[in-house]
Structure 1
Amino acid sequence: MARYGAAIAALGAGALVLSGCSAPAAESGLDEGTSVTVAWNQAFFSANGNTSYGNATANNNINYLTQAGFWYYDNTPELQWDESFGTVELESEDPLTVKYTLADTAKWSDGEPVDAADLLLSWAALSKSLDTPDFDATAFTDQETGEFTDEFPTDVVYFDSGATPDSGLGLVHDTPEVSDDGKSVTMVYSQPYVDWQLALNGPLPAHIIAKHALGIEDGDEAKAAVIDAIENDDAEALAKLSADWNSGFNYTSMPEDEDRLVSSGPYLITDFAADEYITLKANEAYEGKFAPHIEEVTVRFIPDPLAAAQALANGEVDVIQPQATADLVEQLEDIEDITINTGVGGTYEHVDLQIDQSKNGTFADPLVREAFLKVVPRQEILDKLIAPITGDGAELRGSFNFVPGAEGYDESLETSGIADYAEVDVEGAKALLAEAGVTSPEVCLLYASNNPRRVNEFALIQASAAQAGFNVTDCGSEEWGGLLGTPGAYDASLFGWQSTSLGVSSVGPNYETGGINNMSFYSNPEVDALVQELNTSFDHDRQIEIQVELDKLLLDDAFGITIFQHPEVTAFSNTLSGVSSSPLAPTVFWNIWDWEVVEAE
């Protein structure tokens, strides 16, 4: 029989508060010969989750296992520190000065230490302080893949991190100071930053990037060249380094250059079959505190939730966390010797509109945007696709920034205008289109075509919008994640945002001009000013007020619309212990080092 558990999350705004219990830290060693297979709904495609192309949960799940860092969240969720990787020290509040020091146990799997060169390169990328001014990369993005084209200029410095000058490491304008022993960097902020603890985590290997970009084989020489290029603002070298940082770690099967697989985390990629699976083995060079029990982890890519459940029933996979559907829950109930945990996840469904750089130019006019939002059938989607899973507790999510029940959520509902979109308003949409002088506007909608729930959502949106005269066409793609934000590829998108941290600064990148998660080319100076204030305000009440104000501005501009909070279903074989899920990414992978193979009960 299946055993049921519950993962009930009480989510707050900004500083979220969730109830739960974390698994104990692993104390014993590796169990040689053990393996586990996890199913995930999207294939891995980039080992750099800090680019606009690679910033996806499917990538960051794997990167979490191969890239150690200063901090992580447990499943309560509470910020935790990994001092076996390094320490983060606040040296001064005025000016805000932060020192990062790497531990002797922080090492790459090829034997090189993680050191100041790696952190300095991360600063250059995540601050964009050394980028060529005013360069626009949109003309060099492939509309079919979302990657940069071969025509990308070779003489510009451009780190595709989406960093902005008023947030995170973008506020560290001066080149950080490197310690004499090469183990520390000290960063001085130009103004206060509320989430300074979260500004930097695990880096990419600078010596590998320098090897490919600058042709330097020796690790020490490669690191020295990176530091020299950054400290001397060497545009020629930085152009090459930034290009490799942007694209060198994108791959959809085993890369030809296996040094792209170099790991600082507890696992190392050893096999990768395109669109099928990726396999990792315990990293023998890893000396950190998260040494795993299980020797080999395989992640199989199974987009269909029912296929994932069948694979679990067949013993082909051991852990699944697919998109929840009513059919999935019913199927899981019939599987023997598994545990099922259900609850509310940290992901919310939404529709974003391409305000600029779209396929058909449909949503440049705010009247047309508002008209489309009026015919997104939010309640019908909830009733048909979510309520059968969650029952009477199903409710629409009415905020971009607050989870239902969080502090600030009710106030946002009262002031944002979301109530105007509770029901489909065909006549209101027609009136707005008439006012705009537009007939039969075309909307190419991007979504995951291999996700059954999204296919159903697309059909419901298409039928509803047609009543007002919109021609919603199918831009669904299995490669949807890499296409997000690609100029000219689509007009609107349907997907989910997964929360990755509790920091209030995580709000800004979605909406500020040029933010890494602002896929819509949206820009509003008032929003930018509020985001800047949010990033620097330590007043909790003001943080809530700002996010309420942002919700209203986003709806006033018809930026997009929220639909529902994702229900979450995790199921795993009773031959495993230690499995639990976090409401923040990387969800079920958060403590994989604690998992153990045991006898089924």
Structure 2
Amino acid sequence: MGSTAARRANRQLVTALTGAALALAGCTSTIDGAAQPNPTALGTPTGTGPHGPGAETSGAGAAGAGTAGSSTAPNSEPESAAGSSSPATGESRASSGAGSGPGTGAAAGAASGAADSESAASTTARTAGAAADPGTLPVFAAAAPKVPAAAPTQGCGTPRSPQQLSAPAAAAGAVTIGINDTPRSLNGSVGSTYSIPTLQLQHLITPLGAFYDDRRQLIDNTGFVSCTVTRQNPYTVRYTVADAATWSDGTAVTAADLLLDWAARTNALDSGTLQYDDNGTIKSQNTPVFDSDGMTTGYASKVPTLSKDSKSLTVEYAKPHANIAESFSRPSVPAHVVAKRAFGEKSAAKATAALVSTVQALGKNPKDAAALGRLAKVANVWNAAFTITPGKLPPADLRVTAGPYQLTKMDAKQLELTANPKYTWGPRPSVRKVLLRIVQSGNGPATAKAVSNGELSFGQTVLGQDSDVAAMLGGVKARAYPADSFRQLYLVQDQGPFAAKTYGGGAAGAKKAALVRRAFLAAVPRERLAAMQAPAKGAGIEGDLGNGLIDSYVMSPLAPGYPAVARGNGSGSWPSKGDPARAKQLLAQAGVKAPAVRLMFLPGDRRREQQLRLIAENAIAAGFTVRLLPEQNFYSKAVDRAGYDAGVSGWSFAGGTASSAVPMFRSGGAFNWGNYSSSAADALLDKLMVAASSAQEQSLATQIDKQLAADAVGLPLTQGADLVLVNPRQIRNVSDNGLAQGAVWNYWQWAVPR
């Protein structure tokens, strides 16, 4: 896994499938060579049809939904997480990182189940946090108030000061939040350590820049970094750091911190590819390669300029970019700490100046050998130094923060965060101490029990099955929040039974491969897969449970434009019930007999494995040979397309914007694991990235959906939903924004009962 695409895919994306253990009720198969209950082999086309609904829906291991208390997610996705070398268990979600461009409709979508108008008590809670009487506050916070959409020429979200977001009340009390695993790094932008717990920790220890609230409204926290579009052609954006912003060691936050994020997250100055040891750990290298998300790659490749006072960073984009607000408004780690370690320099000022001059030198001459060598040292520190060893508190310099909280203690069971009293450039935390406690992975009822008995103030899991039992425990309040995450089935198109070259290449080979792909997809029973996620009736869950089915490749069901896209993209004719007979006809038309398909997935969640088995059994009934491949290192395998032909993974839309799906389908995209390539789709996807209005976004999304369906790249399967479990005796005013941060997103609004 040494390619640039590989390292970029090890991260930000995804929602990674995860959960409990391999125990599939009433099913028969061989999974990766291991015998399973009952004697029918899934490896040969026996003609056996799919099981009845009871077999797939009985029992289940709840998967964590990618926030506090979810079952484990070593990397991310409503599945797990990208690129981790440790086992994934639990269902989680990670944001793709793509934001919303000006006027693209990102500020949309009412939060599930929350009223548009707020009560006086909840309004007070949202603005005053702990200052409000906790006894008057609801367990679950009302949706954020609607804000005016940003002007199209600004493009940076709706400006809000820290005072508009929260009252300057002193932080008090403590809460304990369940998380599914030890966070893997203090640097949340590193791909190989990407995970939902890491994202949650990052949200609490880094200063809040532009962010999405629970209405998917893009908010620009002007108290930290103000974002201003200064020129339309070339598209130029200035990011200015507030004078008050200071790292906890006393060093000022400057544009140099944003510049380091630019160098790391655009990969614009990379030279070479990442190298890994046998344990999947990134090796120290002599050439600069950042293991980052790369979400702005190709859109801001010109080295930015710093203002004379080092407070502003001016970035020139190749074209208007949908992620400008979030791109460089929240530095991942302090530049001076990275530079001091990289250059062996004791002075923060000298180390930072050396970093800036190194980047600027490469802007003038990308082949400057000395500068490349210096930047390689920076990349090595950025990639690896902030990695967390479970149970071991990182060194003090790596815990320097400019955010609302600082990591102060850590052991094998929990991390202790203490409110940063100097933090005034963002919404101030209402709770003084936050304990992130590692709960039993892959077990929703275990999380609920801990909430019920007071071990946890709140936790989170995925809606459905074991979650139903969890919600019925005494003393637990449960609310469902539809999430911007979904599962997808994708087909590998550069090798195996779905590739044109397998059938001789050329137009004839491409036609035959397309027929085989359509045949496999025709057998997929999407409706039954969605039904398997529904919770039991009478489970006592508040909120909007949704229907679980998703009818767009690129548009979130939570986006306001989704209904129009779903009506116009032809999804009514997409495979939904599963039709083995139609699949047989397509195989016969292709002239291909019993094509062998290796279907890879992340193991651990019983419900997901039941869904995979149902897909496999329908395909077998259609004449395919199917082998299910549970793979703990799913994401590293997915990146290299090694030894498999189809995969089930997940994705999360950022703020409901369609542009966040671009890396999945554009040629060479970081998360285009099927290696799909279409000049027609690329042209539409490029336009989508710079859509100037919600109407244009909807039109392009509709066209893209049609193109992807015609090319049979795969199928969107089911939408995710978070289930937040709260002990109202310990905390109130909890919310969930449906994104990677989940129920920790509104830390400044939490209220601890006296």
TM range (shorter): 0.7 to 0.9
Opposite residue 212 of structure 2, the aligned amino acid is Y
* 2:411 is the alignment partner of 1:282: no
TM-superposed deviation, 1:506: 2.0
Q: Secondary structure at the match of 2:456?
A: coil
Match of 1:423 among 573, 577, 581: 577
Residue 455 of structure 2: aligned partner: 316
Distance 1:436 1:241 in 2: 55
Residue 341 of structure 1: aligned partner: 479
Alignment of 1:439-588 (within 5 A): 439=594, 441-447=596-602, 449-467=603-621, 468-477=623-632, 485=639, 487-488=641-642, 491-574=645-728, 575-588=730-743
Q: Secondary structure at the match of 2:549?
A: coil
Residue 379 of structure 1: aligned partner: 527
TM-superposed deviation, 1:272: 4.6
Classify 1:51/1:464 alpha carbon distance in 2 versus 1 (closer, same or farther; 3 Å).
farther
Distance 1:585 1:56 in 2: 9
Opposite residue 18 of structure 1, the aligned amino acid is A
Does the 8 Å CA contact 1:475/1:490 hold for their aligned counterparts?
A: no
Alignment of 1:346-365 (within 5 A): 346-356=484-494, 361=496, 363-365=498-500
Does the 8 Å CA contact 1:43/1:58 hold for their aligned counterparts?
A: yes
Residue 265 of structure 1: aligned partner: 403
Does the 8 Å CA contact 1:108/1:114 hold for their aligned counterparts?
A: yes
Distance 2:388 2:703 in 1: 40
Classify 1:381/1:279 alpha carbon distance in 2 versus 1 (closer, same or farther; 3 Å).
farther
Distance 1:215 1:492 in 2: 47
Classify 1:246/1:353 alpha carbon distance in 2 versus 1 (closer, same or farther; 3 Å).
farther
Q: Secondary structure at the match of 1:90?
A: strand
Residue 66 of structure 2: aligned partner: none
Does the 8 Å CA contact 1:291/1:593 hold for their aligned counterparts?
A: yes
TM-superposed deviation, 1:97: 2.1
Q: Secondary structure at the match of 2:667?
A: coil
Alignment of 1:28-39 (within 5 A): 29-31=169-171, 34-39=173-178
Q: Secondary structure at the match of 1:456?
A: helix
Classify 1:503/1:378 alpha carbon distance in 2 versus 1 (closer, same or farther; 3 Å).
closer
With structure 2 as the length reference, what TM-score do the two structures score?
Answer: 0.68
Match of 1:108 among 224, 247, 264: 247
Opposite residue 667 of structure 2, the aligned amino acid is T
Does the 8 Å CA contact 1:416/1:553 hold for their aligned counterparts?
A: no
Distance 2:668 2:278 in 1: 19
Residue 298 of structure 1: aligned partner: 435
Distance 1:144 1:486 in 2: 16
Opposite residue 316 of structure 1, the aligned amino acid is E
* 2:260 is the alignment partner of 1:121: yes
Residue 3 of structure 1: aligned partner: none
Residue 745 of structure 2: aligned partner: 590
Residue 62 of structure 2: aligned partner: none
Q: Secondary structure at the match of 1:497?
A: strand
- Residue deviations 1:405-459, cap 9 Å, x none? 8425454455345623112222444455563746452414222x33343233233
Classify 1:459/1:18 alpha carbon distance in 2 versus 1 (closer, same or farther; 3 Å).
same
* 2:552 is the alignment partner of 1:399: yes
Does the 8 Å CA contact 2:564/2:698 hold for their aligned counterparts?
A: no
Does the 8 Å CA contact 1:374/1:425 hold for their aligned counterparts?
A: yes
Q: Secondary structure at the match of 1:16?
A: coil
Does the 8 Å CA contact 1:13/1:403 hold for their aligned counterparts?
A: no
% identity of equivalent residues: 26
Q: Secondary structure at the match of 1:317?
A: coil
TM-superposed deviation, 1:322: 0.2
Distance 1:344 1:469 in 2: 35
Does the 8 Å CA contact 1:144/1:483 hold for their aligned counterparts?
A: no
Match of 2:198 among 22, 44, 59: 59
Opposite residue 193 of structure 1, the aligned amino acid is H
Does the 8 Å CA contact 2:105/2:693 hold for their aligned counterparts?
A: no
- Residue deviations 1:260-304, cap 9 Å, x none? 333221112234556x54432223453433332322222324332
Equivalenced residues, count: 569
TM-superposed deviation, 1:595: 1.3
Does the 8 Å CA contact 2:208/2:221 hold for their aligned counterparts?
A: yes
Does the 8 Å CA contact 1:466/1:472 hold for their aligned counterparts?
A: no
- Residue deviations 1:384-409, cap 9 Å, x none? 33264699962521112224484254
* 2:303 is the alignment partner of 1:175: yes
Classify 1:331/1:25 alpha carbon distance in 2 versus 1 (closer, same or farther; 3 Å).
same
Instruction: Point out where structure 2 has 5 or more consecutive residues left out of the alignment.
Output: 1-103, 130-166, 363-370, 501-512
TM-superposed deviation, 1:136: 5.1
Distance 2:186 2:708 in 1: 32
TM-superposed deviation, 1:564: 1.8
Classify 1:284/1:87 alpha carbon distance in 2 versus 1 (closer, same or farther; 3 Å).
same
Distance 1:53 1:416 in 2: 38
TM-superposed deviation, 1:319: 0.8
Classify 1:536/1:347 alpha carbon distance in 2 versus 1 (closer, same or farther; 3 Å).
closer
Does the 8 Å CA contact 2:237/2:316 hold for their aligned counterparts?
A: yes
Classify 1:410/1:100 alpha carbon distance in 2 versus 1 (closer, same or farther; 3 Å).
closer
Distance 1:63 1:484 in 2: 26
Distance 1:13 1:182 in 2: 33
Does the 8 Å CA contact 2:290/2:379 hold for their aligned counterparts?
A: yes
Superposed CA RMSD: 3.2
Classify 1:424/1:236 alpha carbon distance in 2 versus 1 (closer, same or farther; 3 Å).
same
Does the 8 Å CA contact 2:209/2:330 hold for their aligned counterparts?
A: yes
Residue 213 of structure 1: aligned partner: 342
Distance 2:278 2:627 in 1: 19
Alignment of 1:215-234 (within 5 A): 215-233=344-362, 234=371
Distance 1:392 1:261 in 2: 39
Opposite residue 294 of structure 1, the aligned amino acid is V
Classify 1:100/1:343 alpha carbon distance in 2 versus 1 (closer, same or farther; 3 Å).
closer
Residue 326 of structure 2: aligned partner: 198
Of 468-477 and 302-311, more deviation after overlay is shown by 468-477
- Residue deviations 1:543-582, cap 9 Å, x none? 2111112112222333322122223321211121221121
Q: Secondary structure at the match of 1:87?
A: strand
Residue 110 of structure 2: aligned partner: 18
Distance 2:570 2:482 in 1: 24
Match of 2:382 among 245, 252, 264: 245
Classify 1:415/1:290 alpha carbon distance in 2 versus 1 (closer, same or farther; 3 Å).
closer
Residue 4 of structure 1: aligned partner: none
Of 256-265 and 530-539, more deviation after overlay is shown by 256-265
Instruction: Point out where structure 1 has 5 or more consecutive residues left out of the alignment.
Output: 1-11
Opposite residue 582 of structure 1, the aligned amino acid is N
Residue 290 of structure 2: aligned partner: 159
Q: Secondary structure at the match of 2:214?
A: coil
Q: Secondary structure at the match of 2:737?
A: coil
Q: Secondary structure at the match of 2:229?
A: strand
